[in-house]
Structure 1
Amino acid sequence: MTQAPAQVAAPVRANFDTNRSLVKYIFIGIITLGIYTIWVTARGGEDLNSIAGRYDNKRSMNYWLLALLIGPITLGIAALVWWHKTSDRIGNEQARRGLPKTISAADFWLWSVLGSLIIVGPFIFIHKWLTSMNALCADYNERG
């Protein structure tokens, strides 16, 4: 009696967004009075939880909850912690997948916080964050 070969499960593939851009983030954010920027950031956090959560056993707080409730209560400190942690998680997941590590918590503090002194720093950070999420999501869409 011959046995059928064992089925090997294909890697889980998803269809995460890979078209985040700074131009859309700014212009549509202005048109929607900031709602689009919160939505894109929240979606990035959810995607990060789906991609990296099973490997690092961490979960980022829902950004809607943070932006509308927790952030104002903590006078913005919770938002600083959220950006620090997600930036670091993205970089760590990129390194784990063998991708170039394009963002870290240091990028957040240097570009977004300290870079606000030169006005364009936060925009550079958001661009790095969005393109890093695009790269991470594209890799996950392809390899699972």
Structure 2
Amino acid sequence: MKRTTLKILLPLFLLSMIWAGCDKNNEPEKLPLNHAKGTIIDVTTQCYGEVVLIEVDNPQGIGTAGTFNTLEEDTKPLTYQNAIGVPYFSKIGIPDSVPQTIGTKLYFTYRELTEEERQDPYLFSPNPPAPCYTLVGPPSAKRYIITKIISYQ
């Protein structure tokens, strides 16, 4: 009797352990506070401001959803679900070795803008200002400051 019970319970125990292990793989990775992973989807300039637009994969909900259109006829609108905008890396002390190009995957730490940074007219704009003859602006995205790039590829 004990042997039969053991033969039944052992496979059930092993299957439950495998199932529990697989279930954890479906959950998104839990990152530490103010850490994020994402991909650069656009780098704007001139009349659109100097913004690095990052589609954040993790954590969800820190960015905004939207669509960004340029005036160029050849380009289709850029649609995003959880994007943040950060200043050009050179303006916030990120080393030149980190590529500021579309498609670069980043793992980074971030923070909210200070009141002084919110008031800085050149943090997200060219200096000197670019002459713009049409009413355009940067993509809508929640703005943050990257404090450190942990890794990139």
TM-score, normalisation: structure 2: 0.28
Normalized per residue, the structure richer in helix is: 1
TM-score, normalisation: structure 1: 0.29
Normalized per residue, the structure richer in strand is: 2
Bigger Cα Rg: 2
